[in-house]
Amino acid sequence: MTDVQPSSLLPALASSLLAAAADLPARLAESIRRRVPSYREPSLIPEQELLDACVAHIDFVCSLDLPDGERHKTARVIGATRARANVPLSEVLDAIRVGSEFIWNVIVDYGRSSGSASDAELVSVAGQVWMMNDDFVDLISAGYRDAKEVRLINDERERYALIDTVLSGHDQPNASLWQAVDRLGLPRNRPYVVVAVEAHEDGHVPVPLIDRRLLEDAIESVWLLRSDVELGIVSCHEAQLRLVRKTLQHYEVRAGISPVTEDLGHIAQAVRLARTSLAAADDGQVRFFPDSAISTMAAGAPDVASELSSLVLSRVLALPEPERATILDNVRTWFGTGGSVPEAARAMLVHPNTVRNRLRRLETLTLRSLSDPRDAAELYLAVVSLPRRTPDQRSSGDGTKGL
In this prediction the pTM is: 0.56
How confident is the model at residue 325, as a pLDDT?
92
Q: Which of 124, 151, 178 is the last residue of a domain?
A: 151
Q: Is residue 251 part of a domain?
A: yes
Q: What's the pLDDT score for residue 17?
A: 73
AA identity, residue 330? N
Is there a single domain that holds both residue 200 and residue 256? yes
Per-residue pLDDT at 118: 77
Mean pLDDT of 4-9: 56
Give me the pLDDT at residue 69, please: 78
Among residues 235, 268, 291, the one where a domain terminates is 291
The mean pLDDT value for 2-30 works out to: 72
pLDDT band at 29 (very low <50, low <70, confident <90, very high): very high
Residue 23 shares a structural domain with residue 128: yes
Domain assignment present for residue 169? The answer is no
327 shares its domain with 219: no
For residues 319 and 341, membership in a common domain is answered with yes
Boundary-marking domain end, from 151, 178, 206: 151
229-235 and 192-198 strand pairing: antiparallel
Average pLDDT over residues 106-111: 82
In sequence order, what DSSP letters do the residues of 222-259 get, joined into one string?
A: EEEE-SSEEEEEEE--GGGHHHHHHHHHHTT--EEEPP
ω into residue 259 within 30 of 0, thus cis?
no
Q: Is residue 183 part of a domain?
A: no
- Residue 343's pLDDT band, with cuts at 50, 70 and 90, is very high
Inside any domain, residue 394: no
> Tell me, what DSSP letter sits at residue 369?
-
| Residue 32 and residue 93 share a domain | yes
Mean pLDDT of the 310-320 span: 88
* pLDDT score of 352 more than 70: yes
Are both 11 and 137 inside the same structural domain? yes
Q: Could you tell me if 2 and 116 are in contact, meaning their C-beta atoms sit under 8 angstroms apart?
A: yes
263 secondary structure, DSSP code: -
Confidence band for 401, pLDDT divided at 50, 70 and 90: very low
161: pLDDT strictly greater than 80: yes
Please check whether residue 390 lies inside any domain of the structure. Answer: no
Are the beta carbons of 148 and 81 closer than 8 angstroms? no
In CATH, what number is assigned to the domain containing residue 318? 1.10.10.2840
User: Are 212 and 320 contained in the same domain?
Assistant: no
CATH number for the domain harbouring residue 205: 3.30.70.270
Average pLDDT, integer, range 78-97: 93
- The Cα–Cα gap between 391 and 304 comes to 24
79 with 216, same domain? no
Comparing 24 with 80, the larger pLDDT belongs to 80
* pLDDT(195) > 70: yes
In a domain, 207, yes or no: yes
d(CA 195, CA 286): 10
Residue 296, in any domain of the structure:
no
According to the model, what pLDDT value does residue 292 have?
57
Tell me which residue of 256, 260, 244 sits closest to 286, measured CA to CA.
Answer: 256
Instruction: Please indicate, yes or no, whether residues 226 and 92 belong to a single structural domain of this protein.
Output: no
Q: pLDDT tens digit string along 253-307?
A: 999 998 888 888 888 888 988 888 887 787 888 988 766 555 555 555 566 567 6
Please report whether residue 124 resides in a domain. yes
Give me the pLDDT at residue 62, please: 76
- Rounded to the nearest angstrom, the gap between the alpha carbon of residue 190 and the centroid of all alpha carbons in its chain is 23
Span 107-118, average pLDDT: 80
Q: Is residue 14 located within the same domain as residue 144?
A: yes
Q: Which domain holds residue 327?
A: 302-384
The CATH number of the domain holding residue 69 is 1.10.490.10
Q: Are residues 259 and 320 in the same domain?
A: no
Q: How far apart are CA 270 and CA 74, in angstroms?
A: 51
| 42 in the same domain as 17 | yes
| Overall number of domains in the chain | 3
